[in-house]
Amino acid sequence: MSHALIIGGSGMLKEAAVWLASQYDDVTVIGRSKKKMDFLIDQCRNINPLYLDYHDTNDLKLAIEEQIREIGDIDLVVAWVHSTAPDALSTIMNGVSKQKNNWHLVHILGSRSNLETIKKNISVPENCTYSQVQLGFVRENDQTRWLTNTEISSGVIKAISQKEAKYIVGMTEP
Ligand SMILES: NC(=O)c1ccc[n+]([C@@H]2O[C@H](COP(=O)([O-])OP(=O)(O)OC[C@H]3O[C@@H](n4cnc5c(N)ncnc54)[C@H](OP(=O)(O)O)[C@@H]3O)[C@@H](O)[C@H]2O)c1
C-alpha cells in the first residue's frame, strides 16, 4: 500500500493533495482547520486528516509514528512548513526515517529562501531522498505577480513527477 504525507495540503497545495490522492492508496494531510480539510475529504475517499499544530513538536512526533503504525510506511512527504516552526521538518524527518522503507521528501520553499544554505543545514536520513521546490513569481505584460494556487500545485505536481532534486515554479530572478 502506498502512503503520502502532505503538510499544508489543505491550503494553497490542495490541488496537489487531490492529485496525490489519485496516485497513492492513502494520503495523510496535516492541518489545524477541519473546515479547510473538509474540501479534501469531500473530494477524495483516501484522505486521512491529522488535525494538529506543527509547532507542537511532541504532538507532531507522536502523530507521525501513529500514522505509520496504522496506515503503513510513508513513501512521499510534501512539506510546506512556515519558518515560525523551525523544528517541525526535522521532527517529521526523524519520525518517518524510523520506518524500514526508503522515502522521498519534497521540501516546498518560498521565493526568498536560499536553497543551498537550507540543504546544507538539513541532515538527510539514509533512507530519504531530499528534493526542493521553490515558489517564485510570474512575469506578465512587463509586470510581475505571485503564483496562483493552481500554478503552485501544478508546479509541485511536475516536480514530484519529474523527480527533480531542485525545481523552481515560475521564476526567482527578474
Ligand atoms: N511565491 C511565493 O514565494 C509564495 C510562497 C508562499 C506563499 N505564497 C502565497 O501566499 C499565500 C499564503 O501562504 P500560506 O502559507 O498561508 O498558504 P496556505 O497553504 O494557504 O496555508 C498554509 C497551510 O498550512 C497549514 N498550516 C499552517 N500553519 C500550520 C500549523 N501551525 N500547523 C499545521 N498546519 C498548518 C494550513 O492549514 P490550517 O490553517 O488548517 O492549519 C494550510 O493548509 C498562498 O496562497 C500563496 O499564493 C507565495
Q: What is the pLDDT of residues 108-145, one digit of tens each?
A: 999 999 999 999 999 999 999 999 999 999 999 889 99
Number of domains in the chain: 1
Q: Specify if 34 maps to a domain.
A: yes
Residue 151 lies in a domain: no
Q: Quick check: is 144 in a domain? A: no
Looking from the CA of 107 toward its CB, the CA atoms found within 13 Å total 24
Span 11-24, pLDDT tens digits: 999 999 999 999 99
Span from the CA of 12 to the centroid of ligand 1 (angstroms): 6
Q: In whole numbers, what is the pLDDT of the chain averaged over residues?
A: 96
Residue 3, φ and ψ in degrees, nearest 5: -145, 125
Residue 63 placed within a domain? yes
Mutational test site, ligand 1, from 6, 27, 32, 172, max ligand atoms within 8 Å of CB? 32
Q: How far is CA 73 from CA 26, 99, 109, 114, 158, in A?
A: 11, 6, 25, 30, 23
The atom of ligand 1 lying closest to the CA of 147 is 1
Give me the pLDDT at residue 173, please: 81
Atom of ligand 1 nearest to the CA of 35: 40
- Spacing, Cα 11 to ligand 1 middle (Å): 6
| pLDDT at residue 101 greater than cutoff 90 | yes
Evaluate if residue 92 carries a pLDDT over 80.
yes
Look at residue 150 and tell me if it is in a domain: no
Ligand 1 centre from 31 Cα, in Å?
Answer: 10
Q: Looking at the domain assignment, is residue 13 inside a domain?
A: yes
pLDDT at 174 over 80: no
Which three three-digit cell numbers place residue 105?
521528501
Cα(20) to centroid of ligand 1, in Å? 18
- Ligand 1, CB cutoff 6 Å, lining residues: 8, 10-13, 30-33, 36, 53-55, 80, 82, 110-111, 135-137, 146-147, 149
* CA separation for the pair 38, 61 (Å, rounded): 24
Determine the structural domain holding residue 90 and report its residue range: 3-132
Instruction: Report how far ligand 1's centroid is from the alpha carbon of 30 (Å).
Output: 12
For residue 42, being part of any structural domain is answered with yes
Tell me, yes or no, whether 50 lies in a domain.
Answer: yes
- Residue 45: give its domain's CATH number: 3.40.50.720
